[in-house]
Structure 1
């Protein structure tokens, strides 16, 4: 365990986006590589529109991520990326969608929604290791909007911060997802890697 690179990943999104599926796939990919991994759901609301937060910790004893401890922040919804920034350690990696799925409070007019420029500024103030991508559009291009999360995981695997690459994720998709949705997700994986390189 001591020679495993420790990586703390904080993931956040909105209920109905598939954040927990993405968390499970990432954890299973780490396991398939023989890495010690812990994953958990910190805060989750199954209903659409609720905030969902989860963690994947590779090579770490504790399953928790405190303020300023996340090596990587993955935001499947940009407003949630901004909200989760306190968890990011200085200089950590941020991978965020640019496409909004406003939570209920914004949809009902109880809260203002920041612009993508506001979010980019907030993220840039914390780190210069930032990737933004239009994950839902990439998902649709692959064949299903939910596949956008796979595109983001693929980009994360290709960013060089994890002890494995996109090929390991592809194997996990083949081993764990129903055959009928594998092709869409493998296409999303390919598009996610390309988006990172663009």
Structure 2
């Protein structure tokens, strides 16, 4: 599969949002499409409030993403989207939640939070290719706030940026998540696809 165009995807959020679950599901969906994939956690602890950054690399030789190399940035939390922007290549794709889940530093008053307009401004300096979704609200609509991560993944599969269809992601959810949360996550996926198609 050496003819696969390399695609570097960076995912960022805060602990407790399901960023790592989303990373695993996306990597498994890419594998299900028969493509070579590597995934990993850059740094951060999956504790509530801690920053979590991870990668999914499709058809890449190097297992890491350097500054200015990510083709796609998935931001499960707007402040983390903004912080990760140095990794995005010029004109790369950004999909970000519009709803804040302040990291520990903000919750403890050590740092100011930013507004969604400030986040959009920083993103716009690098790319005009961006979409914003109310992920937590979509998760709640599906039945669980944590399912917001699947809404963002669903939106990604509705773009032509990755060789993964919403159907493949749905099958991956069914095969890899506990039965009791499958329906909620499938609903979130559907809402994410719908939200992107309506932007």
Give the TM-score category using the shorter length. Answer: over 0.9
Distance in 1 of aligned mates of 2:31 and 2:47: 29
Q: Report the 3-state secondary structure (helix = DSSP H, G, I; strand = E; otherwise coil) of the residue aligned with 2:95.
A: strand
Query: Do the aligned residues in 2 keep the contact of 1:73 with 1:94 (CA within 8 Å)?
Result: yes
Q: Report the 3-state secondary structure (helix = DSSP H, G, I; strand = E; otherwise coil) of the residue aligned with 1:183.
A: helix
What is the CA distance between 1:178 and its match in structure 2? 1.2
What is the CA distance between 1:97 and its match in structure 2? 0.2
Distance in 2 of aligned mates of 1:51 and 1:164: 26
What is the CA distance between 1:112 and its match in structure 2? 0.9
Consecutive unaligned residues of structure 2, counting only runs of 5 or more, are none
Query: Do the aligned residues in 2 keep the contact of 1:42 with 1:55 (CA within 8 Å)?
Result: yes
TM-score normalised by structure 2 residue count: 0.98
| Correspondence for 2:192 | 192
| Correspondence for 1:164 | 164
Cα-Cα RMSD: 0.7
TM-score normalised by structure 1 residue count: 0.98
What is the CA distance between 1:2 and its match in structure 2? 2.2
> How far does the alpha carbon of each residue in 1:75-119 deviate from its partner, in whole angstroms, 9 at most, with x for none?
000000000000000000000000001111111111111111000
Consecutive unaligned residues of structure 1, counting only runs of 5 or more, are none
| Correspondence for 1:118 | 118
Query: Do the aligned residues in 2 keep the contact of 1:5 with 1:163 (CA within 8 Å)?
Result: no
Distance in 1 of aligned mates of 2:36 and 2:143: 33
Aligned structure 1 segments of 4 or more residues deviating by more than 4 angstroms: none
| Residue 28 in structure 1 maps to residue 28 in structure 2 | yes
| Correspondence for 2:46 | 46
Distance in 1 of aligned mates of 2:17 and 2:88: 22
Distance in 1 of aligned mates of 2:88 and 2:159: 17
What is the CA distance between 1:163 and its match in structure 2? 1.1
Distance in 2 of aligned mates of 1:152 and 1:47: 21
| Correspondence for 1:136 | 136
Aligned pairs, how many? 198
